[in-house]
Amino acid sequence: MDLQQIEQEALHLSKDERARLVKQLILSLDSPSKEEVRKAWLQEAARRAEEIDDELLSATAGSAVLSKARDMVGGDSGCPVAGWNSPG
């Protein structure tokens, strides 16, 4: 199916269906691919590791981060990881 055929088929959709299709198409333009996200996180992890190695920043234990996050959202309420306890 070529672009012209897709356009013709799309024009036969209801107004709500066309709006939904437009939204999905626009979101697909703005969203990075899984590979782009993976590469970005690898770069970020490498940057952070280098900063720790160079003593530009210090690491924080995961349990401390979760505790601070819980405090910021008012304890256990609203925190998706509130019931989770860090193994270390």
Average pLDDT over residues 14-42: 92
Total domains present in the chain: 1
Q: Which domain holds residue 67?
A: 34-72
- Average pLDDT of the chain to the nearest whole number: 86
Residue 87 located in a structural domain: no
What is residue 19's predicted lDDT score, i.e. its pLDDT? 95
Question: For 32-50, what is the mean pLDDT?
Answer: 94
Residue 47 is predicted with a pLDDT of 96
Spatial distance between the Cα atoms of 79 and 41, rounded to a whole number of angstroms: 23
User: Which of 87, 57, 81, 58 minimizes the C-alpha distance to 69?
Assistant: 81
SS3 content of the chain, % helix, strand, coil (to 5): 65, 0, 35
Q: Which residues of 13-38 are buried (b: 16+ CB within 10 A; e: fewer)?
A: eeeeeeeeeeeeeeeeeeeeeeeeee
The pLDDT value recorded for residue 88 is 47
pLDDT above 50 for 78: yes
77 has pLDDT over 60: no
Residue 80, domain member (yes or no): no
Report if residue 8 sits inside a domain. no
